[in-house]
Amino acid sequence: MAVIKGTDPFLWWSGNDNLTGTTQDDQMYGYGGNDTLSGDWGNDVLYGGTGNDSLYGGWGNDTLYGEAGNDSLSGSWGNDTLNGGDGNDTLFGGENNDYLDGWNGDDYLNGDAGSDTLLGWTGNDYLYGGDGSDSLYGEADNDTLGGGTGWDYLDGGDGNDYMYGGLDGDTYIVNNASLDNVIEYANEGTDTVRTTVNAYILGANVENLVLVGLTSRGNGNELNNIITGNEANNYLYGADGNDSLNGGNGNDSLDGWTGNDQVFADAGNDWIWGYSGNDYLYGGDGDDTIYGEGENDDLGGGNGNDFLSGGEGNDFLTGSFGNDVLYGDNGQDWFSFWTPSEGIDTIQDFNVSQDMIECSYLFGNDLDQWTTLSSDRFVIGSGAMDSNDRFIYNSGTGALYFDSDGIGSAAQVQLAQLSTGLALTANNIYIQGYIG
């Protein structure tokens, strides 16, 4: 290793040095004055010292310290580390994956090619990632961050910051809605805001929103949004577009609004509204309340004792495990059961002229699949009349039973509670087949 030093460090009037490294791993010290240090070959360490210095890493994985003064640092080739130090510095990462740290002062940082990490620290800094998937941190004061091309991560930190993601899908960190400004243009990829701001509204041309910390409310825009909640009791609003909402833990209220939305409540006792559009709404764990509202919706209760209301349109309602209440409302509705033992569901408005009960292939291999139930498998009464009977409707009580062996030794299991006195037939029951 070669150690190359400039003018005597003990003289405060030290001169302006021009130092060039060797093919070895060099350590170079500019000390005082306005120095130019060029590392050339090898993995070099360059110290500018005081004064306005120019440092060039050259080939290899270099480390450049501007120290005091308004310095210019260029990593060139290799995976370089650049630290501007005090003063208003200019840092260029060059090729490969570089680490740029402006430190104190109003600095300009340019990652150039590669997947770079840029930190502004104190001062009003400008950070530009360039090519590659870069991570930009403004830290303190009022910063401007530009991602460039690639999937970039932008965090302005404290202060009044402006963040431009650029091309491809970028991630923004927003901790203050009035100070953190996210600027995206059309056709620049699918972007995500992660925020601790309550009731944050996605700006133009930003698709996805993630709530972090204890933030409880988040709002989409006219695009097809993905909005993700957290541990808190969230209110998520999709607005226009075909949105996907995920409440996470907590007792959440999820509103898809217009468009064909997918809403997943996950854990907790949640409320879900689909409103207009053909929506898929799933409650998950907990006792959930789900309203499809307009058009043709697919509602799933998940675990727990749920309430499902289809609303307008031809809806598909699955209570799943638990004792659920199902209300199809208008339209031709289907009420689905996966197994005979997942609970007793109450169907409040079954209309024999148009509604259907769907049961899966798990109800028995002896049932014809992908068709309505054959008439010899259905009976009206209090129990099975022969060995062929599988579905029994008690018109006096409204109970619908399943019996796996008819008059055999297995006990009948109540599947659902319907209204009394219905003219129910085998044609109201459909057996789904196995989907391999």
Task: Output the pLDDT for position 8.
Answer: 40
Residue 173: partners with Cβ closer than 8 Å, 6 or more residues away:
153, 154, 155, 156, 180, 194, 195
For the chain, helix, strand, coil in percent to 5 are 0, 35, 65
Instruction: Classify burial at 424, counting beta carbons within 10 Å of its beta carbon; exposed 0-12, middle 13-18, buried 19 or more.
Output: buried
97-109 burial, b if ≥16 CB within 10 A, otherwise e? Answer: bbbbbbbbbbbbb
Q: Are 272 and 290 in contact (CB under 8 A)?
A: yes
pLDDT reported for residue 365: 86
What 201-210 contacts at long range (C-beta under 8 Å, 24+ apart), as own/partner pairs, is: 206/172, 206/182
**Which residue's structure tokens are 């997943």?**
264
What letter would DSSP give residue 231? S
Please name the residues in contact with 164: beta carbons below 8 A apart, sequence gap of 6 or more.
144, 145, 146, 147, 183, 184
pLDDT of residue 17: 85
User: Tens-of-pLDDT digits for all 436 residues of the chain?
Assistant: 455 554 444 333 357 989 998 889 999 999 999 999 999 889 999 999 999 999 999 999 999 999 999 999 999 899 999 999 999 999 999 999 999 999 999 999 999 999 999 999 999 999 999 999 999 999 999 999 999 999 999 999 999 999 999 999 999 999 999 899 999 999 999 999 999 999 999 999 999 999 999 999 999 999 999 999 999 999 999 999 999 999 999 999 999 999 999 999 999 999 999 999 999 999 999 999 999 998 999 999 999 999 999 999 999 999 999 999 999 999 999 999 999 999 999 999 999 999 999 999 999 989 999 999 999 999 999 999 999 999 999 999 999 999 999 999 999 999 999 999 999 999 999 999 987 6
- pLDDT tens, 143-171? 999 999 999 999 999 999 999 999 999 99
Predicted local distance difference test score (pLDDT) of residue 337: 98
Size (the chain), residues: 436
Q: What is residue 377's DSSP assignment?
A: G
